[in-house]
């Protein structure tokens, strides 16, 4: 549904809807308590939906700067992980400087979210009303760079490329959305993505307990280190971008599996 919205509605409207979910989630979290208004799960779900929409909505921005598209896409993915440190950062800052109540802190975050999403909506609205010639030229440049990447991959993955070329008749390009969803290729990508995201979330949610109970981290020293390490992946964005450009997507995936 989110992808369908991105294709069908203006980006300004899309980020306005995203802001509603995110800000509502923050406000519900601010008003909730464990006795009279226990809606933490609702607020958390709304924030999760808003965060997912924010990440997916950021991907089209990479097409505006095709020269740096790979780096932008990598940065978006890393920033999504780094966003897990937002509440941790504000909590530590609040304890050391402001000493606001939990409710007031989330109300403050809601105001910040309004400014951020409002800015995004305005910028996309202005961009969509401008002359798109520059964007079209950028897309042409992006196509050329994509062709260069494909040529690089062909030289590194001859056998794979030959198999793809021999099955051009099975391309899903041009099919309707419903027919694309029914193809084995879509099912494979969907299954891989679902399992990968589940694995990542399970790892992140259980690592603290593993460190405490399995390694005896009673003082949370290792858990605190992990809290800093998780969002620091953004510093590796230049390395990821160069690896993608030089080695190609397939070889980068092989390297990722080897390191993981």
Query: What tokens does 110 get?
Result: 């809601």
pLDDT exceeds 60 at position 165: no
**Tens digit of pLDDT for each residue in 109-135?**
899 999 999 998 888 888 777 655 565
Helices in 32-132 by DSSP H: which ranges? 40-58, 69-82, 85-93, 102-129
pTM of the full structure: 0.67
CA–CA separation, 218 vs 17, rounded Å? 43
Nearest residue to 87 via CA among 212, 237, 231, 250: 231
**Confidence band, pLDDT 50/70/90 cuts, at residue 170:** low
Q: What is the spatial distance between Cα 243 and Cα 229, in angstroms, rounded to a whole number?
A: 21
User: Could you give the dihedral angle defined by the CA atoms of residues 36, 42, 43 and 47, in that order, rounded to the nearest 10 degrees?
Assistant: 180
Q: Which parts of the chain are beta strand (E)? A: none
């Amino acid at each position: 549904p989110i992808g369908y919205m991105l294709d069908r509605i203006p980006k300004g409207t899309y980020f306005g809807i995203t802001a509603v979910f995110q800000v509502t989630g923050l406000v519900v979290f601010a008003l909730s308590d464990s006795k009279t208004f226990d809606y933490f799960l609702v607020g958390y779900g709304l924030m999760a939906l808003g965060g997912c929409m924010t990440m997916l909505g950021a991907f089209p921005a990479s097409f505006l700067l095709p020269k740096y598209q790979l780096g932008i896409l990598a940065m978006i993915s890393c920033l999504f992980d780094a966003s897990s440190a937002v509440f941790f950062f504000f909590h530590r800052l609040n304890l050391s400087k402001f000493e606001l109540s939990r409710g007031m802190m989330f109300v403050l975050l809601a105001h910040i979210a309004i400014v951020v999403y409002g800015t995004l909506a305005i910028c996309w609205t202005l961009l969509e009303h401008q002359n798109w010639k520059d964007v079209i030229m950028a897309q042409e440049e992006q196509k050329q760079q994509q062709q260069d990447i494909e040529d690089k991959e062909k030289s590194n993955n001859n056998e794979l490329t030959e198999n793809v070329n021999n099955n051009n008749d099975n391309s899903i390009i041009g099919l309707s959305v419903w027919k694309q969803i029914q193809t084995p290729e879509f099912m494979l990508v969907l299954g891989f993505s679902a399992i990968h995201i589940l694995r990542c979330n399970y790892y992140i949610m259980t690592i603290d307990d593993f460190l405490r109970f399995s390694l005896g981290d009673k003082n949370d020293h290792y858990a605190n280190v992990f809290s800093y390490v998780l969002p620091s992946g953004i510093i590796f964005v230049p390395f990821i971008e160069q690896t993608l450009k030089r080695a190609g997507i397939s070889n980068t995936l092989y390297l990722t599996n080897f390191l993981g």
